[in-house]
Structure formats: C-alpha cells, structure tokens
Amino acid sequence: MPGLKLFNDRLIPATVRTLRQGLGGLALAIAALTSLQLAHAQTTPAQSPAEATVTKPGASVALPGGVIAGPAIEGTHAYTLPNGLKVLLTPDDAKASVTVNMTYLVGSRHENYGETGMAHLLEHMLFRGTPSMPNALAEFSKRGLRANGTTSSDRTNYYASFAADPALLDWYVRWQADVMVNATIARSDLDAEMTVVRNEMEAGENNPFETLMQKTQAAAYQWHSYANDTIGARSDVENVDIEQLRAFYRQYYQPDNAILIISGKFDLAQTLALVAEAFKGIPRPERRLPPEYTVEPVQEGQRQVVVKRNGGTPLVVSQYHIPQGASPDFIALDLGVSIIADVPSGRLYKALVDKKLAAQSFGFARPMRQPGYALFGAQLESGADPYKTLGAMNAAIASVANTPFTQQELDRVKSRARAQWDQIYADPAHLTAALSEAAALGDWRLFYWQRDQVEQTTLEQVQRVTTAYLLPDNRTEGIYLPTAQPKRAPAATPVNIEEMLAGYTGRALEDNAAAFNATPENIDAQTQREPLALPDGTHIDLALLPKPTRGNRVEAKLLMQFGDAQSLAGKSTIAAATASLLEHGTQTLSRQDIQDKFTELQADVGLGGGNGVVVADISVPGNNLPQVIALVTHILREPVFPADELETYKTQVLTSIRSAMTEPGALASRALARHDNPWPKTDPRYTPTFEEALQRVEALNQKALASFHAQFYGTGTLRFSAVGSFDADAVREALKTGFSQWKKAPAYTRLDDPWRNVKPASFTISTPDKANAVYVASLPLELRDDNPEFQALYVANYLLGGSSRSRLWERIRVTEGISYSVGSGVNASAYEPSGEWSMSAILAPENRDRFRAALNDELNKALKSGFSDEEVKEAVQALMNLRRLNRSNDEVLAAVWVNYMQEGRSFAWSAQVDELLSKMTAEDVNAALRKYLQPDAFSTALAGDFDKNKP
C-alpha cells in the first residue's frame, strides 16, 4: 500500500520470532513489515498542495520564554525550543491514554566503518539508565507504562503509552530530558548487554526470510550504508569501543537533532510548559553534524544472492532501487507496487499463487530518507523450483510496460490507503509513530501532505514512474547478465522539502471528540445489554457502547458458537478451513468483490474460527457499520468455498506447517502441547503431530467444507459487541435482518478443559543450523479465575517474570545478559478450576547451562524470601495502570464484552478485580506463590542447535 510505512528494522526479528511458533510464517511476517501504512505523496512537483485551515498555537496558548510556535496542521501543533528541540503536540480527549515518542534523527546509516550496529546498541544502553535512574525499564514497569525503543536506518525512537495521568506524563517527559544527555553508558553495562544483543542477532539469523532480505540488500547497495543491517556486523558489535559509543551518543543525542511527539489526552498549554521546563537546562550544542555525501550510483546490471541454510521452505525476492520517501515520484511508484502485489487482484498473485508456482506472494516499496528500495517476493512449497518461480515473478513485474495499469486497480489501492490513514489518525499511539516516521523522512508534515497528494496522482503518472524504475538492470535477484545496451533507471535527485512544502496548510481540523470516562462503572452504565430477539425464537446477546471517537470509528466483534465435543469430533481442520475461506467467495460475490466492498466501506474486517466458533472482528466508520454487518452476515450464510481458493489455502497452510517443522519455537511449543494432551485423535481438543496436521490438510475437499457449513452454521448462540461512534438502533436492525430466516445451528456446549495432574517431563530438541534456541515451560494450576488466590498469583507472576522489572528479567537479561527475551505468564479459566503457569526465553544454545542455573536460582530465591511489601505495592500500582490503559482502548473493550457475555459477567467483575488488587498484601502474594509454584513440577522443552560447538 502507498505511503509512509512504519518500518522498524529492529522490530523485524521480534516479529519473526513470534511468527515461527505458529502456522502464519512468511505471510504474517510480511504483514508486520508493511503494517500501519499511513500517508501518500504526489508523483510530480508541479501540483500544488490542497488548501486547508491552519491554526496558530501561539494565538491561543501562552508560549514559554524563547519557545517558537510553528505550523499547526489538523490538530498537530509544532513548536521549537531555544535549544533546537522540535515538539509536536496532538491533544485528543477521546482517548483516555497518552503516547510520548522521542525521535532522534540518527540510525544505522550514520554509522561509519567499524561502527555498524552502534545506533541500535545505543538504544539498548539508554535503558540501562542515568546516575539518577539506573534502571529505566524497571521504572517503566513500576509505573505501568508500555515502553520500548526501536532503531531503523534513519532514526531511533523511544516511546511509551500509559493511561492519561499528568503526573505520569511529567515523570516520563523528565526521564526523556534526563536520558538525552546523562546516559551512563558504562563498560559494565555494555558487557552485560552484549550477550543480549548477540542473542537478538541470533534470533534474526534463525529466520530464512530476514536473512535473505539482509543479504539481498547488502548486494543491492554497494557504497551507501543502507547496505548494512541495523543490528550491525557481529565483529563490530562485539568489539565496540566504549569511548567511541559515548562519542556517538554525545554527537547525535542532542536537542537540535530530536523531535518530541506527544498525542492523546493532555492539556496543550500545561504540556508545552512542562516540556519547556524539563528541557530548559539542556543547551543548544555547539558541534556541527557531519555532512552526508555518499550517493549510491545507478545500478548497471542484475545481481544475485544465494543463501543456503537448513530448514524452512524456498523464498525468492527481487529488489529495485527507487527514489527517497519524500520524492514526489515515490508515491506514484508505491501505488504501482501496491497494484502489482495486491492479493488476490494483483498480477503477482495471479502469476504465482493462482498458477501454483508459489504458496504466497508479496511486495512493498520502502520509504527512506535517502533513495530506498522496492521489493517483491514469494514463498514456495518444499521441493518447488525457485528459479522457475523467480522467472515468472520478474516477468509479471515487467509486464507493466506492455499491459498498463487500469483506473479500477488504481482506485482500489487509493481507497484502501485512505481507510488505513484514517485508522492511524484516530489512534494516539499510531499517530505518534506515523509522525516519527514522517520526521525521519525529512519533515513531520509529510504525514498529512502525502495523504493529499495520493488523491491527485494520475494513472499516467503511476504508469510512467513504475515502468521507469522496475527495470531488469535495476534489480537485485540473483543473477548477473551482461547487456550490450543496458537501459538505465533515472538517477535519483535530492528533494528540497522546505520548498516543496512551502505554503502547505493541511486540511480543516475536525472537532475533538468528547472525553469518555473509562471506569468499570461508567462502561457498564453506558453499555446497552438488552438481547435482540430473532423471529425463530433465538436471540443475539448484545453489548453496545456508543461513545464519541476521533474519526467517528467503531470497533465491533461478532461471535457465533455451535456444536459439542461429540458432533465436532474429527472436524477440527475442516472447521478451521471453513472459517478461513468464508471471505473467499459467496453465491453472488467473488473474493475480489468482497474485498472491494470492504474497502469501499473503509472497513477492516477479519473472519476466522475453529472448533465450534466463528469470529468476525470489525473496525469501520460508525455510519458504515450496518452495511458491514449486512455484508458479514451474507458471507456467513452464503459461502461457496471455490475449488481454486481451497487449493491455494491448502498450499499456504501446508507450506507453513513444513516451515514450522524446523523452527525451534514451534517444535518446543508443540512438544509441550502434546505432552499435556489426554484427548483421543478425533477429539476437537487433540493436538496433532506436524505429520498428522499435514495429512489432515491434504485431505480437505470442497464437499467437506460445504457439508460442515450446512450442518453447523446458523442462529442459536450469537453474541455481538460494538464500542465507538454508531447508531445502536441501526445496528440492531442490521443484525436482525442479517440473521433472520436462517436455520438454527446445533446447540452449543463449551469444550471444557479440566485440570490434569500432568507428570513433568523434559524435552531437548535438536534444530541444526539454528543460531537461536527457544525454551518453554508449563505448570498446570488447579484454580479458577474467581479464586482470590488467582489474583495473588497474578501479582506474583508480574513480579517473577511478567514485566521488565521482574526477577527473571533483571537476572537473566539485565544482570547476566543471557537472553534478549525472558518472562512468565499465568492464566486461569472462568469456567473450571484449570489454569497454567508458563515460562519462556530465547538464548544462544551454548548458554543453556547458565540459563538453567540462573532460572532455577531465581525461582528458589522467590520461594525462600518472597516479595517485599514495597515490591507488591509497586506491582499492584503498575497492574492497575495497565488495566486502566486497556479500558481506554475501544478494540479491547469490544473483545472483553464478548468474553464477559460468554462468562455471564459485566465490568462489575473488572471493578471487583481492581478492588481485590488494591487490597493485596505481600502476605497474600507470598502465600499463593508458595502454594502453587513448584519448580520441579514444570514440564519443559528446549529446542536449538546444541551440537554446533562440539568438536
């Protein structure tokens, strides 16, 4: 999709690590790489920016001494402090939360020879603290902040989201001021963090897609530092000079190289005064940043990269050099890339997936401060010929020159891009991230300006720019072919952003939505709960919470349940496939028709399900919700499960399963799931082996899906929730119309999951050629979530391994630097006394003995000494703040209401939990900990390459 994409180089490994454990594989990784796509730009500089209303913040807000008011566009107010710090403030009373983002205009592209990975390493080091605050992550956890930092090629940012609280905002802004110039960057901290960074590096090396991306980019850029992966070369990272790192920090972490962005519920004048006061002691630096003069020359021929590693399935990619993200030509090219890569209408999908040459296809254009790249790719089934697929992929891309784009294709991607932009603009956390990325491209106003420009981009411009850059000689894909008369791509030219944006004013600012008090009592009071009767005598349980929102959006969730353990026996894979293919075609609509209708309605809709359940998640402008309900009910009632779509689905799932069969996380998790698996093979709760899963998917056929749908789908047990700006009466009418005159589904009986006294076991799984190992552990718990002891365990787990202030985190990550990610979790059923205490970590295989020793030592220390009154008090405060933050999120509220309707609860239950937590004592927590935590009773699985260092 066109526009500013939130690319976080160092978030990619974490995303990939998570995805390895499921069946999503590359498709979800690609979605994460191209997620939150924001705004758009024009293809030619001749067109003028659209007119809009500009407000002058200085006219209504008293400016602190020396502060200069800049432009204010659509609710975002810009200021500059005397020391050069730029400040962007976007108040939004509709959300009871605040997000703060400090962006430094320094990334991996600023690293010199021998310094690769320094920007990312510095990001880690800042959380090690300052003299006045030696452990930032612990302080964040103590206060209930969701905080992190990310590094990309062009910028580094540090951000936090928290429930709106002036005191928390004051504290976090002052922490940002403190860490800007007072970070310790001690040798001892660097030594401890080094293993963590290496562990993160190894986690990325486990994933074939990330490795191929890194090698391809390195080959595509021969001179520019964009060739370097943000995490850096292992030799540079391991041998980094502490004084060199400190010098890098002092040079780039200065107010004149930073942008502080705040969005959410706060007072504009008070917050501006706070920022001015917090940063007033930091002077404008006297140093001058070094000039950047390296320009990547026009590529003179195709290049090839071949990566050979164990595990996974074949992948192919083709990468092209393109203009910088702020260039007027970037948006035209981005639109062209989106048309080519669209699923299922794009020519890439039709050439590869429809013709069974690939399981999945993808493509995106990456906006960067200097000339970046566009990338296309495909994931293949095991045994497929990658060279044949690569040739077909390149031919499909080249076909643009002879088979031009159509206006319908362009309109489709434009509409989808605008809907996504509106969704980002309505959310404070996403808006701060978007402004951060725009600032990294050269100017924060690009976020708004590019949205305007995409609407003016013509089909001719898209065709011209796309064909100019997507040339064979501009491609890095794996082979070099000498050419007598090469056809060169245009040389990229610098863009004068100030001149380009001169006079740009944005659009008129919409009125701010009224504030909503997200307390349990008010949520219950404002939610309409009366069931909706249907003509057949059944009903739909409702939880409708109309409230003002920015952008007038609504978050909704539909839950349909049916069947029991007996009737669903042997149908688990069929149930999942049926739900997954609902959107792939109905009696009157094709998959593309359905997708286009959702795009037209600006709706983000996800349908899925499994054993006895189908779920629809909906995000849409409120006035379109009734139409979306009508379309969703049509999809539920009249699917046809096209044969070609079923075959594509089978190929994708089979490919994902085969990829998972060599991944440490997936293997470890599957081992534990099967160990605690008392059910017969036909039972819906049975966990199959990978081989059994492959057989089940292979056996899927169109008749089985149609039969399952005819037998199980219908009215009976239906629940619907909606939170946001919508007409409740219109929603009721749409639901009644959509579900009337439909057969009743078989009676629903919940699949129970009783506690089992599982004999502990230990699994060690060999995964050759995998640089990272994965550890998981599970302990069954015999208690229900309404047992007061569970809330005590909730606090105990938070202190043990549930936060970045926890014992496990402090010992294993902070002190010993063994793991990049370590933690624990606890859960319990609302229905029967059955729960689980789990632990997980990633680590280098050679560190497994150190890891086990540290883990066991911390568990035993907790049991022996317990937690102090002060620790429990801080944990309760942090958990209460996190609960408040969750209640301020409309999507979370909609999901919780559906759960509560199943459990026969309301937000009075949430208030009861708050009350229990507020009265929690160290005695309560330690008693529960000692009763339920039994280290020797955990079943564990550790998967990795434990033989690679053996002689």
Please report the pLDDT score of residue 484 as a whole number.
57
The neighbour count for residue 494, using CB atoms within 10 Å, is 11
pTM (2 d.p.):
0.87
Where helices occur in 740-769 by DSSP H, the ranges are none
Strands (E), 511-612: 532-533, 539-546, 553-561, 604-610
Task: Please say if the pLDDT value at position 1 is more than 50.
Answer: no
Name the 3-class secondary structure at 610. strand
Under a CB-based contact definition with an 8 Å cutoff, are residues 432 and 261 in contact?
A: yes
Report the C-alpha gap between 461 and 44 in whole angstroms.
Answer: 8
Is the pLDDT confidence value at 44 over 80?
no
Q: Do domains 57-279 and 762-944 have the same CATH topology?
A: yes
Instruction: Give the per-residue pLDDT at 347.
Output: 96
State how far the Cα of 900 lies from the Cα of 907, in Å rounded to an integer: 8
CATH of domain 298-425+444-491: 3.30.830.10
Residue 481 has pLDDT above 60, yes or no: no
pLDDT band of residue 49 (cuts 50, 70, 90) is very low
Distance CA(934)–CA(718), nearest Å, equals: 40
Residue 380, both tokens:
């293949």
User: How high is the pLDDT of residue 689?
Assistant: 97
Residue-wise pLDDT tens digits, 676-703: 899 999 999 999 999 999 999 999 999 9
SS (H, E, C) 411-433: HHHHHHHHHHHHHHHCCHHHHHH
The residues, any chain, with a CB within 8 Å of residue 776's CB and separated by 6 or more, are: 665, 668, 669, 672, 838, 839, 840, 940, 941
Whether 706 has a pLDDT exceeding 50, the answer reads: yes
pLDDT in tens, 405-425: 999 999 999 999 999 999 999
Q: What is the rounded average pLDDT for all residues in the chain?
A: 91
**Residues linked to residue 150 through DSSP beta bridges, in sequence order:** 157
The arithmetic mean of pLDDT across residues 471-494, rounded, is: 72
**In the predicted structure, residue 485 carries a pLDDT above the cut 90:** no
List the strands of the sheet with 373-379, edge to edge: 360-366, 373-379, 315-321, 475-476
pLDDT at 41: 24
Average pLDDT, integer, range 804-814: 96
Are 609 and 576 in contact by the 8 Å Cβ rule? The answer is yes
pLDDT at 720: 99
Is pLDDT at 89 greater than 90 in this prediction? yes
Provide the 8-state DSSP code for 832: S
Q: What is the CATH number of domain 520-739?
A: 3.30.830.10
More reliable by pLDDT, 42 or 486: 486
Give the model's confidence band at 486: pLDDT under 50 very low, under 70 low, under 90 confident, else very high.
low
First vs last C-alpha separation in the chain: 50
Residue 947: the pLDDT is: 86
As a whole number of angstroms, the distance between CA 111 and CA 103 comes to 17
CB 91 within 8 A of CB 265: yes
Mean pLDDT of 630-648: 98
Q: Let me know if domain 57-279 sits in CATH 3.30.830.10.
A: yes
Task: Specify the pLDDT at position 7.
Answer: 40
Q: Is the dihedral of CA 276, 277, 278, 281 positive or negative?
A: positive
Give the residue extent of every domain in the chain: 57-279, 298-425+444-491, 520-739, 762-944
The Cα 75–Cα 93 span in angstroms is 12
DSSP structure class, residue 528: B
What is the model's pLDDT at position 716? 95
The half-sphere exposure of 294 on its side-chain side, counting CA atoms within 13 A, is 13
User: Where is average pLDDT lowest: 14-23, 284-293, 900-909, 916-925?
Assistant: 14-23
Residue 153: DSSP 8-state? S
Residue 493 pLDDT: 82
Count H helices and E strands in the chain, helices first. Answer: 35, 22
The three-state secondary structure class of 459 is helix
Per residue in 112-126, is it b (16+ CB within 10 Å) or e — as a string?
eeebbbbbbbbbbbb
Tell me the H-state helices in 581-713: 591-600, 625-637, 643-660, 664-675, 690-698, 702-712
Instruction: Judge: domain 762-944, CATH 3.30.830.10.
Output: yes
pLDDT category of residue 834 using cuts at 50, 70 and 90: very high
771 compared with 10, residue with greater pLDDT: 771
Q: What is the pLDDT of residue 448?
A: 96
One-letter amino acid identity for 32? Answer: A
Q: Which residues contact 558 (CB under 8 A, 6 or more apart)?
A: 615, 616, 618, 629, 632, 718, 719, 720
State how far the Cα of 383 lies from the Cα of 655, in Å rounded to an integer: 11
Look up residue 741 and give its two tokens. Answer: 């005159």
Looking at residue 69, the DSSP 8-state letter turns out to be E
* Low-confidence winner among 476-490, 718-732, 857-871 (lowest mean pLDDT): 476-490
pLDDT tens, position by position, 720-765: 999 999 999 999 999 999 999 999 999 999 999 999 999 999 999 9
What's the pLDDT tens digit per position in 313-366?
Answer: 889 999 999 999 999 999 999 999 999 999 999 999 999 999 999 999 999 999
pLDDT in tens, 155-202: 999 999 999 999 999 999 999 999 999 999 999 999 999 889 989 888
**C-alpha to C-alpha distance for 149 and 302, rounded to whole angstroms:** 36
More confident residue, 147 or 28: 147
- pLDDT tens per residue across span 419-446: 999 999 999 999 999 999 999 999 999 9
Per-residue b or e along 466-482, where b marks 16 or more CB atoms closer than 10 Å to that residue's CB: bbbbbbbbbbbbbeeee
Band (15; pLDDT cuts 50, 70, 90): very low
The tokens for 872 are 């429990």
Over range 896-902, report the average pLDDT: 98
Is residue 83 a contact partner of residue 284, using CB atoms and an 8 Å limit? Answer: yes
